[in-house]
Amino acid sequence: MEVNDALYGLKKLALKDPAVREALLATRLADNPLKEFCSLSTSYGFPLYEMDLISAGEDAYAAMRRSTNGGGENSPMLRCEDDYYEIFFSEIS
């Protein structure tokens, strides 16, 4: 399962089930939030791995930067656009 597919399914589940949403939000308080989030996601049937999640965000952001302003380094850094973990929480909050 692709990262985007897993996040989409997990988001649908979280918006439908308040207990799942609260459990996912609680991962933000863990010692290793990303690891806890991926473990919980996998237990809900949406397999995610930390490096896949990080890489997917960075890859998507890099593609977006390449598509604007000729991909130059003077493209502005957009806040959290490369962080799928934080984007996920903004969508379920």
Per-residue pLDDT tens for 23-35? 999 999 999 999 9
pTM to 2 decimal places: 0.74
* Chain center to CA of 91: 10
CA distances from 65 to 6, 58, 81, 85, 86 (A): 24, 10, 11, 19, 19
What is the model's pLDDT at position 54?
81
Instruction: Answer for the pair 73, 84: CB distance below 8 angstroms, yes or no.
Output: no
pLDDT class of 57 with cuts at 50, 70, 90: low
What is the model's pLDDT at position 87?
79
Instruction: Answer for the pair 42, 50: CB distance below 8 angstroms, yes or no.
Output: no
> For the residues 40-64, what does the mean pLDDT come to?
82
